[in-house]
Amino acid sequence: MFEGLQQAGRGLSDAAGVRVWPVGSLLRAIVDSLEARFNPVAVKGELAGFSRAASGHCYFNLKDVQGQVRCAMFRRAASLLDFSPRDGQLVEVRGRLGVYEPRGELQLVVESMREAGQGNWFEQFARLKSKLESEGLFEAVRKRSLPLLPRAVGIVTSLGAAALHDVVTTLERRAPHVSVVIYPASVQGAQAAGELLQALSKAVERAEVDVLLMVRGGGAIEDLWAFNDERLARAIVASPIPVVCGVGHETDFTIADFCADVRAPTPTAAAELCAQPQNVWLRALDLAMVHLQNAVDRQLESHSQRLDRAASRVGQPSHWVAREKAGLDLHAQRLSHAASLALQRQSSRLGRLERELPKAFSASTLLARLRLERAQTRLELLDPGLVLQRGYAWLADAHGHTLTSVTQVNPGQPVCATLADGELNLTVT
């Protein structure tokens, strides 16, 4: 019962991890949970403590062997009773569960009451409602928005119904430019459900309207039973045309109300929901025209001022000449100053180079001399004559080829040995 309340309670928590509720918020959350889970609800039980106040409202308990619930029946619903309730009487009531917030009590607001044994209408209604709800036919996410500016409105109702007159009158008053197409069908009796289904199918097949109104006036649950037909409910859900259901009075609910894209409390309200008043759009157009005219006037004024300024400039060319001459003089001054600065920088650079050149030449000459001396030293170290002065000799054959191995000579072969101070001709023995 309180699953919705538990889900709604996830939020700010105290130190123990439990949300701290304000009393009013808690009661409203309970009311929302009851509304989503149970309402509308039908209950069968025994009257106890029945009383009728001077205001016409009735207060009583409805009980059985397992418990009781406090009930309130307001004057309008009580005036429709066709019998005099009394304590101990077994009755069936239809209404909405809620909370009487001043005392925090669970309360059933009764919308209709009848003596028990009049049939099982409410049980059938509750079973079908539960079945279709479990299939997701009542989900808000699948329902479509109504067109903002419908070109044509379809009405599914009886030609003799007062609801038809109310809807047509309302549409003529609010939106006389909108076309109205009537799909006649019985709205009460054994054949009503089939005719309603046929009229809805015809509207879908023709596809000549942008929204459908399914309407009829109030009555007992038996009178409205055609709108609790399962086939009609599924056809409303499958309709590609948005459907507004305005059946009965504000307190009346049918399966068609839950399946429709929009539920209107009365047929007149259904007409008001599907068509915005023409004068509202005319006022919006007038306001848009005023804004457009103001924007055009502002643009004209702005362009006029620009033309005036351009005309004043064209009419006095001497101002342009004087301004351009002043600009040229400024550029000439800047050019002269820039040339002077450049000459000064180049003169300073030449003087600096003139001072630094002798030092750079002397340093370069010294560096070259040192490099030459190092090269001479390395060259002398590579002179083979120095090696011969240490007692070594250089051997060569008759052709002047250097001999570096004994395998290069044969016995009796002449060779030449070069020493530090001369050459010797030798023969290999």
* Per-residue pLDDT band at 233 (split at 50, 70, 90): very high
Q: How far apart are CA 412 and CA 418, in angstroms?
A: 19
Question: What sections of 110-229 are H helices per DSSP?
Answer: 121-134, 162-174, 192-206
Q: With contact defined as beta carbons under 8 Å apart, do 370 and 392 qualify?
A: no
Q: pLDDT tens across 362-410, in order?
A: 888 888 888 998 888 888 777 777 777 777 888 888 888 888 888 888 8
pLDDT at 213 over 90: yes
Which residue from 113, 111, 57 is spatially nearest to 89, judged by alpha carbons?
113
Residue 303 or 132, more confident? 132
Q: With contact defined as beta carbons under 8 Å apart, do 183 and 207 qualify?
A: no
Q: With contact defined as beta carbons under 8 Å apart, do 236 and 220 qualify?
A: no
* Per-residue pLDDT band at 220 (split at 50, 70, 90): low
Q: How far apart are CA 120 and CA 94, in angstroms?
A: 12
Of 9-23, 110-124, 136-150, the one with minimum mean pLDDT is: 9-23
Q: Identify the pLDDT of residue 201.
A: 93
CA distances from 280 to 79, 175, 180, 275, 283 (A): 39, 10, 20, 11, 5
pLDDT at 348 over 70: yes
CA distances from 243 to 161, 169, 213, 264 (A): 19, 20, 6, 10
* Per-residue pLDDT band at 4 (split at 50, 70, 90): very low
Q: Mean pLDDT over all residues of the chain? A: 82
Q: Identify the pLDDT of residue 3.
A: 43
Q: pLDDT tens across 261-308, in order?
A: 999 888 988 888 888 776 666 677 777 888 888 888 788 878 877 887
Mean pLDDT of 182-187: 92
Whether pTM exceeds 0.75 = no
Q: Identify the pLDDT of residue 14.
A: 52
Q: How far apart are CA 211 and CA 152, in angstroms?
A: 7
Of 96-105, 115-124, 239-248, the one with minimum mean pLDDT is: 115-124
Residue 227 or 306, more confident? 227
* Per-residue pLDDT band at 240 (split at 50, 70, 90): very high
